[in-house]
């Protein structure tokens, strides 16, 4: 099952993506796709619906917002692809490297504004995990029971903040708009190949990232279980699982985002994203 939220920011409506890729209106069954709707019983209720019985959304080209409203924590796993760790010159972690993003998710195709005075804006295509049932000390063997679904995430960064302002990753990862999410939330039964899925990212049509989730150092069950040792996971939490090689920082010489760039990315089964990069407006209050 693929769930989406369509419409203007703050006024999104719930939708289901049918097998033909058309948006179906879920408004008669749910008011929104919220963390509470991610409970297994609620998802089962939606899965039981016949897509053909749902009306087609009036605007099939509507904006796609974040597929879950009210996402809680955004927890990220760093250096989780062997090739990415090598390109930035860091050893493979013996345990998952965890950091946070302090922003809210935006829509898959919403424009991205760089921070004031940005110097080193960067990109990272990632597989995202959305939590259904929370908890502490989740058993790895049962970890997928706590996963509502998967989504595509672009873990954007301002590397100068991350690496040159006290070495704090969260500082460089949290500017508003730095977490495009979606276009859909795909339940695990509809993405059986999540553990061996190609993912890619291009800037202005040039492919910089081309990887596969089979190269994750720590897989989805291990990540969910491990993170739950340190955080109480809650419904609607988003875990970004890391990125393959090809980030801007890893290019020789490095390549960073600038206003006017267009970033496109995708992951097999999870759709695609497209973001236009903009400058911080000179007249915007600081």
**pLDDT the model gives residue 283:** 55
Q: Give 116's Cβ-side CA count (13 Å radius).
A: 6
User: What's the topology of domain 74-278?
Assistant: Fumarylacetoacetate hydrolase; domain 2 (3.90.850)
Residue of higher predicted confidence among 83 and 217: 217
Please calculate the CA angle 147-67-192 and round it to the nearest 5 degrees: 40
pTM of the model: 0.95
Residue of higher predicted confidence among 179 and 163: 179
Strands of the sheet containing 13-17, edge to edge, are: 23-25, 13-17, 2-6, 185-186, 147-154, 125-131, 238-240, 74-78, 97-101
Confidence tier at 164 by pLDDT (50, 70, 90): confident
**pLDDT the model gives residue 284:** 56
3-state SS class at 224? helix
pLDDT of 282 > 90? The answer is no
- Whether the CB-CB separation of 238 and 71 falls below 8 Å is answered with yes
The owner of tokens 């345990």 is 95
Q: Left (φ > 0), alpha (ψ -120 to 50) or beta: where does 34 sit?
A: beta
pLDDT of 78 > 60? The answer is yes
**Burial of 167: CB neighbours in 10 Å, binned 0-12, 13-18, 19+:** exposed
Rounded CA-CA distance 114/121 in Å is 7
Report the percent of the chain where pLDDT is more than 70.
98
Rounded CA-CA distance 143/132 in Å is 11
Rounded CA-CA distance 42/194 in Å is 22
| Range list for CATH 3.90.850.10 in the chain | 74-278
Confidence tier at 165 by pLDDT (50, 70, 90): confident
């Amino acid at each position: 099952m693929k769930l989406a939220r369509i419409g203007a920011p703050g006024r999104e409506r719930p939708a289901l993506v049918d097998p033909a890729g058309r948006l179906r209106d879920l408004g008669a069954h749910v008011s929104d796709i919220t963390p509470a709707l991610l409970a297994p019983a609620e998802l089962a209720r939606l899965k039981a619906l016949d897509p053909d019985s749902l009306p087609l959304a009036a605007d099939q080209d509507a904006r796609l917002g974040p597929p879950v409203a009210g996402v809680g924590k955004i927890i990220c796993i760093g250096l989780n692809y062997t090739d990415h760790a090598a390109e930035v010159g860091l050893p493979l972690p013996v345990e998952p490297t965890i950091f946070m993003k302090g922003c809210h998710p935006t829509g898959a195709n919403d424009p991205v504004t760089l921070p004031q005075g940005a110097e080193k804006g960067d990109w990272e295509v990632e597989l995202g995990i959305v939590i259904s049932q929370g908890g502490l000390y989740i058993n790895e063997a049962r970890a997928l029971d706590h996963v509502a679904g998967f989504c595509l995430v672009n873990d954007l960064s301002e590397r100068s903040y991350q690496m040159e302002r006290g070495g704090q990753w969260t500082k460089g990862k949290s500017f508003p708009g730095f977490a495009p999410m979606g276009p859909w939330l795909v339940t695990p039964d509809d993405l059986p190949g999540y553990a061996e899925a190609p993912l890619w990212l291009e800037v202005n049509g040039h492919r910089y990232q081309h990887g596969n989730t089979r190269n994750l150092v720590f897989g989805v069950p291990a990540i969910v279980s491990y993170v739950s040792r340190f955080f109480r996971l809650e419904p609607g939490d988003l875990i970004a699982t890391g990125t393959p090689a090809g980030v801007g920082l890893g290019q020789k010489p490095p390549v960073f985002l600038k206003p006017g760039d267009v970033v496109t990315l995708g992951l097999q089964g999870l759709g695609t994203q497209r973001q236009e990069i903009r400058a911080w407006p000179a007249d915007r209050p600081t």
